[in-house]
Structure 1
Amino acid sequence: MGAFVISKRFDNQYKFVFTSRKGKVIFTSMKYELKFESEEAIEYFKSNISLATFEKYRSAGGKYFFKLLLDGAPFALSRKYTTELRVQKGIDEIVKYASISEILDFSDNDLIFLD
């Protein structure tokens, strides 16, 4: 099962990533001004996964990625993949596990792993 991980960006805005069962980032969200907006976006996505569309692309460098749209609006951008098959596996993992994934909030503590 994957996880949604909320974090705070250097510009004091919030974002979240969806990670695979193995801990690899599959996609990164758009940025949000307030933390509760990112939490609401995750919950909305989890309950409306059927409204998501995935647009596949290939970068100029030959890497593959996808844009995740929710209700036709940009929602997230995937990491870069080496093959189109891996892109599809990332999408399949989202469809299968996103609705049951937990939410982890690391936005309040910059020092998660202390010495």
Structure 2
Amino acid sequence: MGTFLISKRSNDEFQFVLKAGNGQVILASEGYSTKASCENGIESVKKNSQDDNRFDKLEAKNGKLYFNLKAVNGQIIGSSEMYESSSARDNGIESVKKNAPDADVKEDL
């Protein structure tokens, strides 16, 4: 089962990551000014991760592949790590879809 981990950045913004059952980070958020807005971001991931249309499959300038998860309004709510192949990226998306809905939320503040 996955876990959302909320932490605080050095600039005092809150951020979450979604970790798979093996502890690997599969999605990371942007910074949020409040903990409440960070928690809302987690709820948005839980909801939007079940819709294939919310995942944008992208390629970085260096040729590595990644994906963004977007909310209904088009705002990015999480980004993946960089992958070497499209099959690895697709596996990352499937992992988010599998782990996000029932993931526990923990804090490291």
TM value normalised by structure 1: 0.84
Aligned mates of 2:22, 2:50 — CA distance in 1: 24
Counting aligned pairs with the same residue, the percent is 31
Quote how far apart the aligned CAs of 1:20 are.
Answer: 1.4
Larger Rg: 1
Aligned to 2:36: 36
> Which residues of 2 match residues 92-103 of structure 1 at below 5 A?
92-103=94-105
What is the one-letter code of the residue matched to 2:94?
Answer: D
Quote how far apart the aligned CAs of 1:57 are.
Answer: 1.1
> Which residues of 2 match residues 10-29 of structure 1 at below 5 A?
10-29=10-29
Q: Specify every segment of 5 or more residues in structure 1 that has no aligned partner in the other structure, as ranges.
A: 108-115
- Call closer, same or farther: CA 1:81–1:41 in 2, change over 3 Å: same
Structure having greater relative contact order (Cα 8 Å, sep ≥ 6): 2
Aligned to 1:112: none
Aligned mates of 1:3, 1:16 — CA distance in 2: 10
How big is the alpha-carbon RMSD for the aligned residues of Structure 1 and Structure 2?
1.5
Aligned to 1:67: 68
Quote how far apart the aligned CAs of 1:103 are.
Answer: 0.6
Contact 2:27 2:96 (8 Å CA) reproduced: no
Aligned mates of 1:25, 1:40 — CA distance in 2: 19
Secondary structure at 1:57's aligned position in 2?
strand
The C-alpha deviation readout for 1:33-91, integer Å capped at 9, x for no partner, is 01121112212332453456111111122211011101121111111111111111111
Q: Would you identify which runs of 4 or more consecutive aligned residues in structure 1 move more than 2 Å?
A: 47-52
What is the one-letter code of the residue matched to 2:15?
Answer: K
Aligned pairs, number: 107
Secondary structure at 1:99's aligned position in 2?
coil
TM value normalised by structure 2: 0.88
Q: Specify every segment of 5 or more residues in structure 2 that has no aligned partner in the other structure, as ranges.
A: none
